[in-house]
Structure 1
């Protein structure tokens, strides 16, 4: 069985609706708490796939949150090996920073469901499954596209929403993993941020309800297509990723 190591920063920001998909592809999932576990002891080559999840701190905040230094070091070592790496929100920002790109605050936070605009390369990428669908955004910072990276998507608020480095590295500023059926966890867990940003949780709840029809399946389609690209490096499991039950 293949192994997937997920670096987690908040209990409710996990692999969500993608976890059954990874199981269908033959991955055994292991979580590490990036804020408390000793990442210096992690072998960057051990896992077949490393996923760096989201969190409420900034990728440039290592002076306030020193654990980010060890996390960045692990990401850099993983990148040097050229092994599969997926970054979501903070995770994508950390990958961009590890590759020398800037991560900086946006004029306004982007929180809520909004449709992606795919670039020409994005329409030919695994993200093609997301064309025309609103996805969940929850960030106040933005990354520049790393050197050698391919820009895949943008929104009206953020010019850089996704990038790829070859076939092995994918960085997503948005949250395909979030289980919109469990949106209340996000609304409560980030309630102070919503108040600060002047965002009505009732509006987000309504948006989540509308997105629940098509987004989970499209998100799994996109990540499944990305996993298919990793052949023959990771090897595909005999089970079809399309068998995951839709939310």
Structure 2
């Protein structure tokens, strides 16, 4: 990652919904450039401090839906804090569930999709002038979700897939939502296969084939994710 040009605080806050879905290779990139990382566990920690942080906050993935507030009441606070954060235009990245939370907080509908999207496939990157954010054309990225969302009002669509049209969007310079996983580390993918075994079997996913694809594509994505991160951080406005 090239050195960020923004005056970004040197601590990154990450909100985690599942132990093995962490910052992955992005965490290593942060450390290489002298950033610190602090994790907050959703459902366990008080997230108010995290969402009020004026530096970069990254909201990570997880297997629950944003609409499951009756079963997971902590989502009510998380969504309320996120709405306040987005209203202040504080720098925020959402990945998978994090992207769905951003879409929901911005007033868009989040709902169960017509099929699970689990596995590796290429994105259709939108041809937007001066859009260097996602240098992932012709690159297989990891999808792992069943829910999808409508595009929020005033959002700029950045990427789509063959199955779901809304794979990435941004609001201005400081708010970015990625439905796909750009952060996965190649040497940690077996954790995903173990931790999500019930979902994989229910969706009739071929686990040996997915493992093979992980081994084939994850190192390539891992080599490109630092540049994605650099592009995002260099556009942040303080």
Q: TM-score normalized by structure 1?
A: 0.89
1:3 aligns with 2:37: no
Aligned partner of 2:217 in structure 1 is: 211
Aligned partner of 2:22 in structure 1 is: 14
Aligned-partner Cα distance in 2 for 1:164–1:198:
33
Aligned-partner Cα distance in 2 for 1:150–1:122:
12
> Given that residues 184 and 218 in structure 2 are in contact (C-alpha distance below 8 angstroms), is that contact kept between their aligned partners in structure 1?
no
Task: Give structure 2 stretches of 5+ with no counterpart.
Answer: 1-8
> Given that residues 54 and 91 in structure 2 are in contact (C-alpha distance below 8 angstroms), is that contact kept between their aligned partners in structure 1?
no
Aligned-partner Cα distance in 2 for 1:118–1:229:
18
Aligned-partner Cα distance in 1 for 2:77–2:125:
33
Tell me the alpha carbon deviations over residues 146-174 of structure 1, each in whole angstroms, 9 at most, x when there is no partner.
11110011111111100001110110001
Task: Give structure 1 stretches of 5+ with no counterpart.
Answer: 234-247
**For the structure 1 residues 185 and 123, does the alpha-carbon distance in structure 2 shift closer, same or farther, using more than 3 Å as the test?**
farther
> Given that residues 181 and 208 in structure 1 are in contact (C-alpha distance below 8 angstroms), is that contact kept between their aligned partners in structure 2?
no
Deviation of the 1:25 alpha carbon: 4.2
For residue 29 of structure 1, the aligned residue among 37, 43, 55 is 37
Deviation of the 1:46 alpha carbon: 2.5
Aligned partner of 1:81 in structure 2 is: 88
Aligned-partner Cα distance in 1 for 2:189–2:50:
34
- Report matched runs for 1:127-146 at 5 Å: 127=134, 129-146=135-152
- Report matched runs for 1:77-156 at 5 Å: 77-121=84-128, 124-127=131-134, 129-156=135-162
> Given that residues 6 and 53 in structure 1 are in contact (C-alpha distance below 8 angstroms), is that contact kept between their aligned partners in structure 2?
yes
Tell me the alpha carbon deviations over residues 15-53 of structure 1, each in whole angstroms, 9 at most, x when there is no partner.
00001222344432110101211224x263324111100
Aligned partner of 2:6 in structure 1 is: none
Deviation of the 1:125 alpha carbon: 3.4
Q: TM-score normalized by structure 2?
A: 0.92
For residue 166 of structure 1, the aligned residue among 147, 151, 172 is 172
Aligned residues: 230
Tell me the alpha carbon deviations over residues 70-101 of structure 1, each in whole angstroms, 9 at most, x when there is no partner.
11112111112111000000000000000000
Aligned-partner Cα distance in 2 for 1:146–1:125:
21
Aligned-partner Cα distance in 2 for 1:78–1:221:
26
